[in-house]
Amino acid sequence: MRTRLAIAGSMLVGAVLGAAGSLTLHAQPKPPVYMIAINEIRDQEGYAKEYVSPAQKSVKDHGGEYIAAGPGTQVTGSLPQGPVVILRWESMEALQAWRNSPDFQAALKIGEKYAKFNIVAVNGMK
């Protein structure tokens, strides 16, 4: 009788631990989304003076995080010449919400007078 109770107790504990582990695995957050931009600048002074500050503020106000920014070093292939910016977002929806926000659209309208923006987004790894 004791053996049966021990086996039943072990099975119950195993089922509870298995369910808890399964919930933990499903509750893990999705990996972040990274946005990479190579900005071909036509007018450095106007770009720096009018675009950079409102664009950076909008990124921060919408939860984006600057990972890297500055001149890139081309390793291979043919890419546009210009500064590279890498941003991290919690999701593609967060990136799109920022991109479509009135404050960023206003900054973008200014920026397009001084630069061409080449942008790609990619999902991060778990």
Asked if 39 and 69 sit in the same domain, the reply is yes
Looking up tokens 């999902």 gives 123
Full domain range(s) for residue 19: 1-28
CB atoms within 10 A of CB 118: 14
Asked if 40 and 74 sit in the same domain, the reply is yes
Asked if 51 and 74 sit in the same domain, the reply is yes
pLDDT tens track, the chain, 126 positions? 566 555 655 555 555 556 555 555 556 688 999 999 999 999 999 999 999 999 999 999 999 999 999 999 999 998 899 999 999 999 999 999 999 999 999 999 999 999 999 999 999 997
Helices (H), 27-101: 44-46, 52-61, 92-99
Asked if 87 and 114 sit in the same domain, the reply is yes
Asked if 43 and 76 sit in the same domain, the reply is yes
Asked if 7 and 61 sit in the same domain, the reply is no
What is the gyration radius of the CA atoms in the chain, in angstroms? 24
Per-residue tokens: 55: 């664009």
- The 3-state DSSP class for residue 39 equals strand
Which pTM does this prediction carry? 0.74
Could you give the CA distance from residue 100 to residue 16 in angstroms, rounded to a whole number? 45
Asked if 79 and 44 sit in the same domain, the reply is yes
- How many folded domains does the chain comprise? 2
Looking up tokens 């973008």 gives 108
Asked if 51 and 102 sit in the same domain, the reply is yes
pLDDT of residue 126: 77
